[in-house]
Chain A
Amino acid sequence: MKLFLKVWRQDDRNDEGRFETHTLDNVSEDSSFLEMMDQLNEQLLEEGTEPVVFDHDCREGICGMCSLTINGLPHGTENSTTTCQLHMRKFEDGDTVTIEPFRAKAFPVVKDLVVDRSAFDSITQAGGFITVRTGSAPDGNALPVPKDDSDKAMDAAACIGCGACVASCKNASAMLFTSAKAGHLNMLPQGQAEKDKRVLAMVSAMDEAGFGNCRNYGECSAACPKDISLDYIAKLNRDHAKAKIKSIFA
C-alpha cells in the first residue's frame, strides 16, 4: 500500500517544529506501525536526509516506551493498543497519516517524535513505592490478599507509564497515571502504612510537574493501551480527601 505521511520534525526543545510530508510506497499490510516508521527512515537515509527520531523498545506492547500521536490520537485509533502493536492493515491504501509527538507542557519534545516523560518518574519517586526491604519474593499466600483486591490492584499495576493518558487529555492531566500508580499500592496490605502520605506526595508532585486538571472527559481511559478504568481516578479523589482531612486533624 501507498501512504502519505505528515511527520512532525523538531530539532530540539527550543525549536518551533514543523510538519514534513513524505510518500511511502510498498508498505506491507502485515507490518507494524513502527516497522513502517523503520521503512520511512531507510528511505530517508537512502535519500541522504536525516531519519525521523522516535521512541521504541520492546515492540510487544508491554514496555511503555513507544509513543506517537497518530491522526490526533495517542497510539492511534485502535482501542487497547500501543503504537508498536498497531498494524498497517488498519489503514487504507492512499491514506494520509499524521504522526506527531505526545503533546503536553510537562512532556517537552526532545527531538522529532521523542518526548521527555521524566515528569512521570518524579510522580513515582514521590510515593509510588513501599518503603521496606522486601527481600526475596515471599511465599504465595504468606500475606492473605482477597482475590477482588488483588485483581483490582493488578488492573492498576498494568499501567506501563506510556503517557497516552496525558497526551489524549485536553488538559494534559496525569490523573489516570497517578491514580493507577497510587491505587495499585493503596489497594494492597503492603501499601496501607504509607497510603495517606503516598497520595498527598504523588498528587503534589503531579501538580508541580505542570500537568493540567482532570475534567472527567474519559479520553485518558479511552486512549489507555491497558484500559485503566476511571475508577482509579475516583479512588484517588476519595483517598486524597481522606488523607487531607486526616492531616487537618493530625
Chain B
Amino acid sequence: MFTSSIGKKYLMALSGLVLIGFVFVHMAGNLQILMGQEKINAYAHALQSLPLPILWGSRLFLLAAVIIHAITAYQLVKENRRARPNQNYIETTKRAGLASLRMGLTGSILLAFIVFHLLHFTIRTIYPEYSEMMTVVGSPDSNEIHDVYSMVLAGFQHTWISVFYIVAMFLLCGHLAHGVSSAFQSLGFRSENWRGKLELTAKAYAWLIFTGFSIVPLLVLAQNWGIITIFDITASTETLASN
C-alpha cells in the first residue's frame, strides 16, 4: 500500500493531516494563557491527568506521525534527487510558489524546533528548574500542580527563545500553506473546482495557526519592553529571580 511513489505520498498526506489537526488543538489550548493563570494551569493539569493509556496513546500517535512524516520525506527527497541529478543547467520556475519549493527546508527546521520545544517545555531539560514551578492556582483540589503559566512566562523571558519560536511558527505557516491543500491532492480529494478554495483555505489556516501561536511570545516580548501589561509576572517572579 505504501511502497510505491504514490503510496509514500499517502503516508505524507495522512501523517500531515494528523499534525494539521494537532496544531489547531495545541494552539487553542495555548491561547487559554490569555484567560489567566488559573485557566491555563487547570487545562494543563487536566491534560496531564488523563488516563495513562489515553495520554501516552495520543503522545505515541503524534510521535509516530512526526516520525513517519520525516522518514518518508527523507526517502522521497533521496529518490527525487536521484531522478534529477544536480547538473550545470538553468532552472526556471513558472507556477510553483515559494512555500511549495521550500517544504524540505521549512520541514527540517520545524523538526529541530519540535525537538527543542519538547526539551524546553515538556521534558524540561533545557531549564530543569521549570519542573519545580508548582502552585495551587488552577488546581482542582488543594494539592499543588505544575505552574504552566509561570513556566511559559519564564520561558519567553529570553528574547532569543521568543524570536526562535516566532520564526519557527512563520516557517510552520509556510509549510501549512502548501501542505494543507497538497495533502488533499495526494489523497485524490481535489479537483479543478476545489483547487482554488482549498488553496485559499490552506493559506488562511496557515496564517491562523501562525497568529494563534506567535501571539503569546509576542505579547510577552511586548510586556518586557513595557508596551503592554497583560500577564501577571508576579506569579512567576520567584522563578524568574532564580532564572
Contacts and interface: CB of A to CB of B under 8 A. Distances in A.
B10 A105 contact: no
A1 interface: no
Contact of A216 (B85, B182, B191): B182
A72 B91 contact: yes
Contacts, number: 137
Nearest to A210: B83
A222 B4 CA distance: 25
B61 to A, nearest CB: 22
B131 to A, nearest CB: 42
B190 to A, nearest CB: 5
A203 B101 contact: no
Contact of B6 (A8, A103, A203): A203
B92 interface: yes
Interface string A49-71: 00000000000000000000101
Interface in B75-102: 76, 79-80, 82-85, 87, 89-96, 100-101
B8 A98 contact: no
Among the interface residues B84, B93, B192, which one has the most CB atoms of the partner chain A within 10 A?
A: B84
Nearest to B95: A222
Contact of A210 (B76, B82, B178): B82
A132 to B, nearest CB: 27
B9 A234 contact: no
A32 B45 CA distance: 72
Counting chain B CB atoms within 10 Å of each CB, the highest count among A77, A168, A211, A212 belongs to A212
B120 interface: no
Nearest to A199: B6
A216 B90 contact: no
A90 to B, nearest CB: 15
Interface in B1-54: 1, 4-10
Size category of the B interface is: 35 or more
A236 B187 CA distance: 9
Contact of A172 (B83, B100, B190, B192): B83
Contacts of B7: 240, 244
Interface in A206-249: 206-207, 210-219, 221-223, 229-231, 233-241, 244-245, 248
A168 B100 contact: no
Contacts of A219: 93-96
Contacts of A169: 84
Contacts of B192: 229-231
Contacts of B87: 103
A72 B189 contact: no
A73 to B, nearest CB: 5
B185 A230 contact: yes
Nearest to B195: A230
Given A105-B85, A212-B79, A216-B182, A241 B187 contact: yes
Contact of A170 (B6, B101, B185): B101
B239 interface: no
B82 A100 contact: no
Contact of A241 (B10, B85, B103): B10
B34 to A, nearest CB: 36
B101 A244 contact: no
Give the most central of A73, A77, A171: most B CB within 10 Å. Answer: A171
> Lowest 4 A-B CB distances belong to which pairs?
A238-B188, A72-B92, A212-B83, A72-B90
13 contacts: A105-B84, A203-B6, A210-B82, A211-B83, A213-B8, A215-B76, A215-B100, A217-B101, A219-B93, A230-B192, A230-B195, A236-B188, A237-B6
Interface of A: 8, 69, 71-73, 77, 98, 100, 103-106, 168-173, 203-204, 206-207, 210-219, 221-223, 229-231, 233-241, 244-245, 248
Given A212-B83, A217-B95, A240-B6, 19 more contacts: A103-B87, A103-B89, A104-B83, A170-B84, A170-B91, A172-B80, A172-B83, A172-B84, A212-B82, A213-B5, A214-B5, A215-B100, A216-B185, A218-B95, A221-B95, A233-B185, A234-B188, A236-B6, A240-B7
